[in-house]
A and B are shown apart, each in its own frame.
Chain A
Amino acid sequence: MKAVEVHKLRKEFVRKDGRKRVHVEALRGLTFDMERGECIAVLGQNGSGKSTLVRLLSTLLLPDGGSARIFGHDIAETRAVRRMVNRVSVEASFFKKMSAVENLAYAARFYGLTPRETRERIPEILDRVGFPAARRTHAMENLSRGTQQKVALARALLTSPILLLLDEPTTGLDPRSKLEVQDFIREVRLIHDTTILLCTHDLAEAEILAERIGILDDGRLLCLLPADEIKLLYGAETLEEAFFAATGRAFGHEVEAA
């Protein structure tokens, strides 16, 4: 059984452009699959459809066409899918006045973890992500972005997902925090055999963490291959050159459309 099977997945949004309503296609018939334990990275500029893909797979959006299955379950089977999936997004969204421990306890309860279980697991997992023990009870608003992102990773892992969706987990982090998060992603794969879909802006990160790399451009998946094969395919020496050759654009930052 494939970990992820996506077939002609489509999603569009309606945006207001002055008085007019404009239909924007965020994903245009995406097709790919993932093996259990595999890590793939999806590269794309802002607005290319990366976050839309992650939100569809995490049941936060309804598709307009096509299908997606996670370990054999259609994403419409929300209850089954939600037990298997968790997500870390670019924004470490928390109740800012609550502490890391309180935020994690809240998230864990939704996955059936009792107070007795979380009393042991939360400190354990916070230690693993390198969260300082002395700050466990501090309000999230007093923590740096890098530290908040570690708590976001801890939140995802606390629920033991077999599919982890990482939507730009290291964007905006300082180099040290970025390396720590990347190390942790590697560790999760090795220890838990978690399947990982990583959406990133960071070409080097994609190359070191993923077995296959996909280039998503304007809602279309242009390729999904190992880094070396992508370079070969586009006659490029670096992934950045390959991205440019594939999309006709440099790897820059634009405004997210969806």
Chain B
Amino acid sequence: MRAIAVAARHELIGLYGVVERNWYLVKRYAWWELAFFIWTIANTLSIVFISKAANLSPAEENRLTTILLIGAVIWSYLGIIFEILTETVAWERWEGTIEYTFMAPLSRPVHLLGMGLFAVAYGLVRASLVFGVVAAFFGLHMPDANFGTALLVLGIASVSFIGVGMMTAVLPLISPEKGTQLGFMAQGVMLVVSGVYYPVSVLPQWMQAISTISPATYALRGIRSAILEGATPADVWGDIWPLLLIGTVAIPLGLWVFRRGELYAKRHGKLKRSG
């Protein structure tokens, strides 16, 4: 019993270590963080301005602006989670630290979970700031918004996002450059099929079929319902249960895929420093 408690304590300290490491990196790259933040604001504004050109009534324009803003913010949030999970592995390979991380007595699920937790916390802060700044810029009215439900949906969706991120994170483990490229492609596919800026119903049938397995589809729909219509968790249950289902599959699958990738890398000597 005591051995289990000691092992659990070590894992928790290790988990903290991963989060702490990412925090150190954010601090050290503070100017890059500022640059990325400004870029995200500019990118979001350029998307949201589309609503101004649509010649709609003020109420309809407010609604479209909010729909586009939610799409842009959730997309940037998703990008941050993928980026932190995938890029950190690529980064560790470039720096050569991956060997030291992998020879440490920390379980892989805890290691990956630590990166995921940091990604979610960091992504939430960034997404909230972008949402607040752009909403204020356009003077958006969201009188019915139920932010509690929106956060709940985003939290549940994050489990699936982390699971998918673990799967893409395995790619740079095998080949840093190609892996990062493939990660971007996977992210791009999700962007197209998930209805980030348009309803999924406008997609061709085969793309709609793919959208049903993308967690972003349900996250966007649920969050939009919560912010535009003030939906409660019960109202968006139709989006929550698929997210729970995808999350239940995505995390074990992500861990399994990563484990397979790690074993492949160890069998073929791929963990060596690159660059």
Which residues of A pack against B, CB within 8 Å? 13-14, 52, 55, 58-62, 79, 82-83, 85-87, 89, 91, 93-98, 102, 105-114, 139, 155, 258
Among B20, B102, B104, B107, residue most surrounded by chain A Cβ atoms (within 10 Å): B104
Pairs of residues from A and B, 3 with the lowest C-beta to C-beta distance, nearest first: A109-B17, A93-B96, A110-B104
Contacts of B10 in A (CB 8 A): 111-112
The answer to whether the Cβ of B39 comes within 8 Å of any Cβ in the partner chain is no
Given contacts A106-B24, A139-B28, contact A111 B97 (CB under 8 A): no
Q: Which residue in A58, A62, A98, A108 is a CB contact (below 8 Å) of B267?
A: A62
Q: Is B103 part of the binding interface, using a Cβ–Cβ cutoff of 8 Å?
A: yes
Let me know if B13 and A112 touch, CB within 8 A.
yes
The contact of A83 among B24, B105, B267, by CB within 8 Å, is B105
Whether the Cβ atoms of B97 and A95 lie closer than 8 Å is yes
Scan B22-47; emit 1 where CB is below 8 A from any A CB, else 0.
Answer: 00110011000000000000000000
Closest-CB distance, A75 to chain B (whole angstroms): 11
Nearest CB of A to B6, in Å: 8
- In contact, B20 and A109 (Cβ under 8 angstroms): yes
A55-B269, A95-B21, A97-B28 known; 15 new pairs, CB 8 Å cut-off, are A13-B268, A13-B269, A59-B103, A60-B99, A61-B266, A79-B105, A87-B103, A93-B96, A107-B104, A109-B13, A109-B18, A110-B17, A110-B101, A112-B9, A155-B100
Complex: how many Å from CA A155 to CA B106? 16
Q: Which residue, A96, A109, A114, has most C-beta atoms of chain B within 10 A?
A: A109
Give chain B residues whose Cβ lies under 8 Å from the Cβ of A114.
Answer: 13
Query: 14 A-B Cβ contacts within 8 A?
Result: A13-B268, A52-B269, A55-B269, A60-B99, A79-B105, A82-B103, A87-B100, A89-B99, A98-B28, A109-B16, A109-B21, A110-B104, A110-B106, A112-B14
The distance in angstroms between the C-alpha atoms of A34 and B112, with both chains bound, is 35
Bound CA–CA A114/B14 (angstroms):
9
Q: Interface of B with A (CB < 8 Å)?
A: 9-10, 13-14, 16-18, 20-21, 24-25, 28-29, 91, 95-97, 99-107, 263, 266-269, 271, 273
A-B contact count (CB 8 A): 98
Chain B residues, Cβ within 8 Å of A13: 268-269
Contact yes or no, B25 A98, CB < 8 A = yes
Is A105 in contact with B95, judged by CB distance below 8 angstroms? no
Which chain A residues border B21 with CB–CB below 8 Å? 95, 98, 102, 106, 109
A60 touches B103 (CB 8 A): yes
**B97 and A110 within 8 A (CB):** no
B10, B100, B267: which has the most chain A beta carbons within 10 Å?
Answer: B100
Q: Give the residues in chain B near A110, CB-CB below 8 Å.
A: 14, 17, 101, 104-106
Specify the chain B residue showing the minimal Cβ separation from A96.
Answer: B95
Q: A58-B103, A60-B266, A155-B100 are in contact. Are A94 and B13 (CB under 8 A)?
A: no
Residues of chain A contacted by B104 (CB below 8 angstroms): 82, 107, 110-111
A86, A106, A111 interface centre (most CB from chain B within 10 Å): A106
Nearest chain B CB to A175 CB, angstrom units: 25
Closest to B102 in A: A60
* CB closest chain-A residue, reference B23: A102
Residue of B nearest to A26 (CB): B269
A98–B269 Cα distance when bound, in Å, is: 27
